[in-house]
Structure 1
C-alpha cells in the first residue's frame, strides 16, 4: 500500500525545480506585500503553484510513466488547471515583471493557440512520445514545455488588455485539436504507445482501455477548460458593463475585481 509521503516525494527529481519554485514564491510574496492583489488572487496563485509542483515533482510522476491515462491527467494539470489558476492571479502585475518581446510575440492571438495545440500533437506522436517516456531528459523537457506553454497561453487568454472576443476565440481555437486527438485515441484498435507495457502498467487496465480513457481525458476535461475560460471572460465583461468602476479598473491594470455583491 502506497503511503501518503509517496505523493510528496519526487519520482523524477529535477535539481532545478526546488530553487525555481522557491524563487517564484519569494518574488510573488514580496510583490504581494508591496502591491496586494487581493486575498482571493493570492489563494489562486498558491493553489496553482502547488498543483504545478504536484504535477512535476510528486508520486504522480510514477503512475504517469506506467499508465497512459494518468499521463494525460498529469498534462491536464500542467497544461490547463494549474496554469489557469496562476493566470487568474495576474502574477506578473504582482511581481512587477514585464515579459520580454519574444514572449509577447509567442502570445500573439494567432500564434498562441497554434503553439498550444502543436505541443499537444507533437508530444503525442507515437515515436516522439515513446522516446520521451524512455529518456529522462526528454521527459523533463516534455513536461516543462507543457507547463510553461500552459501558463503563457492561459495568461494570454485571461489578459484583460485584449478584446473579450479575441480572448474567447483563442480559448475555443484549441478545442478542435483536443477533440480530434481524443476521438482518435478512443477509436484506435491498436496500442499506439507500447512503452507503457514495456515499463509495466501500474493499473489493471488493458492497453486499449488505458488508451481510450486517456483519449477521453484529453477530449472532455480539456475542452471544458476552454469553455470555462470563455465563461470567465464573459463574466468579467458583464461585471464591467454593470460596474463602470470595475471597467475602468480593468482597463487600467488588466485585473478587474470580482463583481460587487
Structure 2
C-alpha cells in the first residue's frame, strides 16, 4: 500500500501537458520537446528509490533483491519512454502514438513496478517525518477500508474497466488532447488504475484472478476492435494533424485501435496463463499444513 500512496503523491502534480499541437506546417513540429513536470517527477522518484537503496545498505549491508531492482529500472524506463520525446509530443499529432503511450503505461510500466515491490525502498528514501506521516496514515481505518476495496479483484477490475472505457468517450478524449489539466488527469488515472489492477491480481493472489484477466482482455480488445473497424474518426483533434505524417485520420485511428487490440489481448492472456501455471505449481493449502 505504501508504494502506491507514494507514487500517487508523485503523480498529483500535473504530469503531462496537453497534446494540443501548435505546429501549422510539418517543419514546425518539434518531436524533441519534453514536459518538465513529467521529468521532474520521474527524476524525483528515481532519486527517492536510490536514496532508499543507500539507506538500506547502510543499515543492513544489503541492497535488496537484484530482480526487484531490475524490474523497477525497467518500469521506470518504460515510463520515461511513454512520457518523453519523441512519443509524448508525437501523441499530439497522431492518435496511434497517443494510444501507444497508454498501452505502455497500462501493460508495461504498471505491472513491472508492481512486481518490483518498491514500497520499502521508496519509504526509506523519505525523511523521517515523511515516514512517520505515512505510518500514521496506514493506521486510519477509512484508508485501510478504501484500500481493501480498491485492491479487491472486483474493485480493481471495475475501476480499470471504467477508466479505460470512460476516457475513450469522444468528449473526454478530445478534452484530454486540448486541455493540460484534463490530459494530466487522463494519464494519471490510466496509470494509477492499472497499478491497482495489477497489484490486486499479481500481489494479493486473489481467487478468480485468471477470470478477471481474461475478461479484461476481452473488453479491452473489443474497444480496440471498435476503433479499428470504425469508418469515421472518433476524435476531432486528429482530423487535421495526421496529414503532417502522410496518414489519413481513419487509418491513424485504425492503427491506434490495433495497438490496443493486439498487444493488450496478448499481455492479459499471457499473464493469465502465467498465473494459472503458478497456481498449478503451488501445493494445496492442506498439503502445506501437514
TM-score, structure 1 length as denominator?
0.79
Structure 1 stretches of 4+ moved >4 Å: 34-37, 93-100, 199-202
Q: Highest relative contact order (Cα 8 Å, sep 6+), 1 or 2?
A: 2
1:206 shift after superposition: 0.7
Q: Which runs of 5+ in 2 are unaligned?
A: 1-29, 124-133
User: For residues 63 and 278 of structure 2, what CA distance do their matches in structure 1 show?
Assistant: 20
Tell me what 1:257 maps to.
none
User: For residues 43 and 232 of structure 1, what CA distance do their matches in structure 2 show?
Assistant: 20
User: For residues 268 and 258 of structure 2, what CA distance do their matches in structure 1 show?
Assistant: 15
Tell me what 1:45 maps to.
72
1:179 shift after superposition: 1.8
Q: Which runs of 5+ in 1 are unaligned?
A: 1-5, 249-261
Tell me what 1:140 maps to.
184
Q: How much is the aligned-residue C-alpha RMSD, in angstroms?
A: 2.8
SS in 2 for 1:53: helix
Q: Which moved more, 1:95-104 or 1:57-66?
A: 95-104
User: For residues 187 and 180 of structure 1, what CA distance do their matches in structure 2 show?
Assistant: 11
Tell me what 2:173 maps to.
129
1:112 shift after superposition: 0.7
1:68 shift after superposition: 0.8
TM-score, structure 2 length as denominator?
0.71
Over residues 170-220 of structure 1, what are the superposed CA-to-partner deviations in whole Å (9 max), with x where a residue is unaligned?
222312221221111112111111201344555222111111111111111
Residue pairs, 1:112-191, within 5 angstroms: 112-159=156-203, 161-163=204-206, 165-191=207-233
User: For residues 200 and 270 of structure 2, what CA distance do their matches in structure 1 show?
Assistant: 15
Tell me what 2:272 maps to.
230
Equivalent pairs counted in the alignment come to 236
Instruction: Check conservation: 1:158, 1:229, Cα contact below 8 A.
Output: no
User: For residues 241 and 32 of structure 1, what CA distance do their matches in structure 2 show?
Assistant: 34
**1:174–1:17 Cα change, 3 Å:** same
Larger Rg: 2
Q: Which moved more, 1:226-235 or 1:110-119?
A: 226-235
1:157 shift after superposition: 1.2
SS in 1 for 2:245: coil
